Chain A
Amino acid sequence: QQQVKQSPQSLIVQKGGISIINCAYENTAFDYFPWYQQFPGKGPALLIAIRPDVSEKKEGRFTISFNKSAKQFSLHIMDSQPGDSATYFCAASKASGTYKYIFGTGTRLKVLA
């Protein structure tokens, strides 16, 4: 009920390509779905987030697609750049209350120059 499953575990993409990372959740009470980007030696930083009242949110080259009926959401990185090479975590939580996040297992992205 509390798990967030993330795939793939690692991803290699050519510069200019599209990186796609997928997450699936079980708890239908979750209503806030952020993505975090983490560089080595740094804490995770919020990249983009979505609530289930919309099916897509775009910020620059980053897009979240959300499928409420399938309980899945994904991160798309368009025109991937070597500077995007990092570990990406999806998460899920309730937007109010304890604010505790359940994190996915992470995806290590490498963008080749």
Chain B
Amino acid sequence: EAGVAQSPRYKIIEKRQSVAFWCNPISGHATLYWYQQILGQGPKLLIQFQNNGVVDDSQLPKDRFSAERLKGVDSTLKIQPAKLEDSAVYLCASSAGTESSYEQYFGPGTRLTVT
């Protein structure tokens, strides 16, 4: 089965510019996660979708970050405007989204550099 796809793999922008990341989860996976991973740290959950509804976005900086998951499949994460501290790898993961389906499958990530 195909894995979690993300694009682009790398992005360099200047501060105050906008950027968008795309994620295509594993087919049939109900739960989709976006994580921010700053160099040397563990992934931090930004937002979690169950189908096309938001389950948790408590750590999403909503003044500049937004995310959507239309039709419960693909998802986009946007930053507008970007700040220097947004430089990180943005990981997308998906899971079947049931009690017993515990495993998250991760995409390769998008490395964002804000200059």
A binds B: no
Q: Which residues of A are at the interface with B, using a C-beta cutoff of 8 A? A: none
